[in-house]
Chains A and B, each alone.
Chain A
């Protein structure tokens, strides 16, 4: 059988049929603009995102859909099919109603519907499509920053999302994808730049107590419930630059761990910094999940 390639690449689109939760387009982010007030943004769970891209044969930095604590239904509007893969939070994946494997490349025939269910374990699903989500980049990135709202708008019903040209290399044939811990998680920390603003025992409290992820957590940060971290200095900290994984302590004493869309500067002291490789684990913790910190 001979394939016809009359279809223009433009016609490769995903039509958004149903959305629940915070669904955004994300790539590796928008570095280099922090001094102008623009967060780095990008995938909340980079290892999961890179894996999803590899599974469908994309360059690791391609833009994909991040489905945060929600669900998504799409129709692939093209006569030719494509590959998809879901990683990150574990969720049901259906192609035209038929259940297929999470964590593996799946073929989607032209015109088919794809449905990603709510997360069974974890919080954020990465859904990669061969060719990547090809919306127009803003400041060099297709990521939606949910703090400053730089980048494409959040994904909403009725949108037509363009798909890029798929690489000629075939998708990764298979591979074992192991879900990561989503409760009782240990995070490695190093002392923060303002550890000396806290009471002498505070760094030890942080490293010995169990914290729970609070309900008002999002792509900006996870708010923690647990022992408050007492300050030795109560004067106002002059605003200073913040990094991914910074554990900032506002006046309430309840710490916040900053994720991808964190503010670029802040005026509360940072007691410790979560190791960059462990920040991705934070992105998959639901409200109520337990976590502990240990020295890196």
Chain B
């Protein structure tokens, strides 16, 4: 893109700045770009659906400078590591999702497993990543009208344009299509030099039927 995209920063109290960007892919790129700077520029760099929050900003001038020089990079979208999640497609909302998608249960499995999702941002629970990829293929589904009081750990779920995996049992309003045994959140991984979240922002995710 010629000339680059000017990123607007909004103050969020005296210590934080919020950058508005076009979409979640851009938010990931901007967050990655600032995190990769040789010096830490903020204590927290939190991508959102179309924003990046810089909290505990350490050097405002350097952050401005780094953002001014940032340019969208089409090749970056594929840069994250790939995680494959073996999945049993036996969720209670499979038939409803099939209805929304105008297909049958096998069709849901085939379409869902064909998508390479990208973790856009985390929230709701440690290790719960909002996976983008449904919107691009027109497969967004509405949330449940009444949330469930308990969703089992490992549930693979859809809501709006997002897919997510519940790291542990909790209440939830997303539509459940399957289950995985993968440990989405394990603080023990820190001891071996890995992130506690299996799926961090930028990670690519594929669901593998079994």
Contact = CB atoms under 8 A, between A and B. Distances in A.
Interface of A: 31-38, 40, 138-139, 148, 150, 190-193, 238-243, 245-246, 263-266, 270, 273-276, 296
A102 B24 CA distance: 51
Given A35-B44, A36-B195, 16 more contacts: A37-B122, A37-B124, A37-B127, A37-B129, A238-B49, A239-B121, A239-B123, A240-B49, A241-B44, A241-B51, A241-B52, A243-B53, A246-B13, A264-B46, A265-B124, A270-B12
Contacts of A240: 18, 48-51, 53
Given A35-B121, A240-B48, A193 B10 contact: yes
25 contacts: A31-B44, A33-B126, A34-B46, A36-B127, A36-B196, A36-B200, A37-B122, A37-B128, A38-B126, A190-B13, A191-B11, A192-B12, A193-B12, A239-B123, A240-B53, A241-B52, A241-B53, A241-B55, A243-B13, A243-B15, A243-B53, A265-B121, A265-B123, A266-B123, A273-B16
B66 interface: no
A46 to B, nearest CB: 14
B133 interface: no
B47 interface: yes
A139 B44 contact: no
Contacts of B51: 238, 240-241
Contacts of B18: 193, 240-241
Contact of B11 (A190, A239, A264): A190
A284 B55 CA distance: 24
A35 B201 contact: yes
B16 A243 contact: yes
B137 interface: no
A236 B52 CA distance: 18
B56 interface: yes
B45 interface: yes
A162 to B, nearest CB: 19
B43 interface: yes
The 7 closest A-B pairs by CB, nearest first: A241-B53, A238-B49, A265-B123, A241-B46, A37-B122, A240-B48, A273-B13
B197 interface: yes
Contacts of B10: 193
B190 interface: yes
Contacts of B16: 243, 273
